[in-house]
A and B are shown apart, each in its own frame.
Chain A
């Protein structure tokens, strides 16, 4: 049985860029339709329901972001990749917040484009042109991973945090927060060990109890003093 080619719908007000996109993506095994403005795009989107949307952010004013939001109102799952000439950090952040899955800077590099698109759709041609993954050499592999979290509660043994990812029991990590300095602890970072985790369906997030690891008396005293103040004020 012949596999259907994935479909891509793109919007960009630059006619030359649209032609290049049609040629490149066509050769990468996709069915491509390009549009010049938001109205044409939405009409195409509702008709075709493509596998992937390619959106130029610089469609004039805010319309690139608005378009992403409009797409998401109709389809939460379709892959949306932004292409933009703007290197501004806020543009990337806004695009992701609006619902984009990825963001590529112009000018487009064929290997980069193929590698990026292969994360969302599948064609043999994409696989051929995708950048290779390489193993870093020994000594160049350890990294520090930073994840966002919110602190819900503090007691003298530890902290209750909420975050988007599951941290298994027994994981040792450092927790960094301005609240520790407010408590009067010397460092902004404390070593903790996760002793309990749970899923909160209401907020679609994971809770974790992070117990202070390596507690000393001074640390305990400062936390107790802070808790004493906070708890008496709120009672």
Chain B
């Protein structure tokens, strides 16, 4: 079933191959796709023919996707048009900024057909998404795995920089070869300190982590390794 039949979609992107790729995918689902290779052309199009949805690249020369979003915020009519931003894989900070400027959602490049269609359908509320809520008591456990950085370390704990604001006294596990093997931390219990995590810059938090249940044997191994590092 073509979910996007009779939907007009505007794509604002200076890269012709991205515009063509999106066009192929969206027309395959029944949409009419219109192109603009810069922000002003996009705004001009919108003033003449209001699309049902706008896809806008964040990173463009001269006026950027942010400029478009700012313009959108200033117009009561355009604010109502669902707008998704396209952004490069490593540009999460720009994505957060775009969402705070009113973008409805984001799509990271390179994108698959499945993902683009999902996001567009969701934005246009055209597909019903089945949703299963686990009853209480049957909720599966999960582990969140995220890259972080140890900035300082001692025999009693370490200071960790990560994108997560770890709550005071939360139990954590931290693994890396140098921790597990060189410092003997493999089975050491770790816990965030009572002191709240501190916000650094650009979405990073500094958390103090304590090693729990350690004794002098562990301390000696760590001291030796730290001395070698110096």
Contacts and interface: CB of A to CB of B under 8 A. Distances in A.
A221 to B, nearest CB: 10
A131 B149 contact: no
Interface residues of B, number: 76
Given A115-B156, A215-B114, A177 B93 contact: no
A147 B143 contact: yes
B21 interface: no
Interface residues of A, number: 81
Most buried by B among A87, A109, A151, A213: A109
Contacts of B173: 145-146
B25 interface: no
Contact of B143 (A93, A159, A175): A175
Contact of A176 (B105, B145, B176): B145
B139 A152 contact: yes
A224 B127 CA distance: 13
Contact of A216 (B112, B160, B193): B112
Interface in A141-193: 141-157, 159, 161, 163-179, 189, 193
B18 interface: no
Contacts of A132: 154, 226
A146 B142 CA distance: 10
Given A135-B151, A173-B144, A176-B142, A93 B105 contact: no
Interface of B: 92-93, 95-96, 99, 105, 108, 112, 114-115, 118, 122, 129-134, 139-157, 159-160, 162-167, 169-176, 178-179, 182, 187, 189, 191, 193-194, 203, 208, 210, 212-216, 218-220, 223, 226, 229-230
15 contacts: A87-B215, A102-B210, A112-B214, A119-B194, A133-B159, A135-B151, A140-B178, A141-B149, A145-B147, A145-B164, A145-B174, A150-B141, A168-B203, A215-B118, A217-B114
Interface of A: 79, 87, 89, 91-93, 96, 101-109, 111-112, 115-116, 119-120, 131-137, 140-157, 159, 161, 163-179, 189, 193, 195, 213-217, 220, 224, 227-228, 230-231, 234
